Amino acid sequence: MKDMMLICRDPSIELSPQDRASMPGWVSAWVEEMDSRGIRLQGDLFQPASDARTVRIRNGQVQLANGPYADTREQIGGYNIIDCADLDQAIEVATKHPIARFGAVEVRPFSPQ
């Protein structure tokens, strides 16, 4: 079962200097574990939400907006595509992601083909 994990950081949650310094190592350890288990198929970080553009076409006209579509406190900072046996395993994988402590990890199954 393939799932998309959307990694969302909540900028209103202050990180301690130790947490900020440790975060790259925590994420690297998570990536290494999931890669070694054959669960993580792909993943990457995004540029800041301020660099996003939202495109819509309404009445044949292109509408372009700066920034992300969603107006939320948490912004998507990256993604991972995972392949798990079931939803329980996907949730277990998401709970191990370090950002879950400082934001949210949305697990969204891909639609069956």
CATH assignment of 2-109, given 3.40.50.300, 3.30.930.10, 3.30.70.1060, 1.20.1290.10?
3.30.70.1060
Q: What percent of the chain has pLDDT over 70?
A: 95
Q: For residue 49, what pLDDT is reported?
A: 80
The predicted model gives 99-105 an average pLDDT of: 92
Torsion of CA 103, 14, 35, 42, to 10 degrees: 60
Q: How is the chain split into domains, by residue range?
A: 2-109
Q: Considering the chain, what is the average pLDDT of its residues?
A: 90
Note the pLDDT tens digit of each residue in 53-98.
888 899 999 999 887 665 566 788 999 999 999 999 999 999 999 9
Going by pLDDT thresholds of 50, 70 and 90, the confidence category of residue 48 is confident
φ/ψ of 80, rounded to 5, equals -140, 140
